[in-house]
């Protein structure tokens, strides 16, 4: 007796249109998601690491300054002036 593996077909909706459905095997969808996330995270790392290094460098050089809080600046100014 031979055991036949059945393919599970998933109907994938494109751009949330119910009338356009593409039947794809479940394995293809999972492989596509894994490879797309793998490449996406590499691109995000390549972009975000130099930007964070540039931000830290700009703090040390003085281009970006940290806000110093004064006790007098904690008082909230009135939002509007009352007229008599």
**What is the value of pTM for the model shown?**
0.41
The token pair at 2 is: 């031979």
Task: Measure the CA–CA gap between 14 and 34, rounded to whole angstroms.
Answer: 19
> In this predicted model, what pLDDT tens digit does every residue of 34-76 receive, in sequence order?
999 999 998 998 989 999 999 888 888 877 666 666 656 556 6
- Using pLDDT thresholds of 50, 70 and 90, give the confidence band for residue 33: confident
Torsion angles phi and psi, residue 49, rounded to 5:
-65, -50
Q: Name which residue leads in pLDDT, 23 or 31.
A: 31
pLDDT for position 49: 92
Reported confidence tier of residue 9, pLDDT bands at 50, 70, 90: confident
Give mean pLDDT, residues 2-12.
Answer: 70
Number of H helices and E strands in the chain, helices first, is 1, 2
69: which 2 tokens?
């809080």
Task: Give the residue, 32 or 78, on which the prediction is more confident.
Answer: 32
Partners of residue 10 on adjacent β-strands: 24
């Amino acid at each position: 007796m031979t055991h036949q593996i059945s393919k599970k077909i998933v109907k994938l909706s494109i751009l949330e249109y119910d009338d356009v459905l593409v039947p794809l095997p479940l394995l293809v969808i999972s492989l596509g998601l894994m490879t797309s996330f793998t490449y996406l995270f590499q691109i995000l790392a390549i972009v975000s690491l130099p930007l964070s290094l540039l931000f830290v460098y700009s703090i040390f050089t003085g281009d970006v300054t940290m806000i110093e809080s004064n006790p007098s600046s904690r008082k909230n100014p009135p939002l509007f002036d009352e007229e008599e």
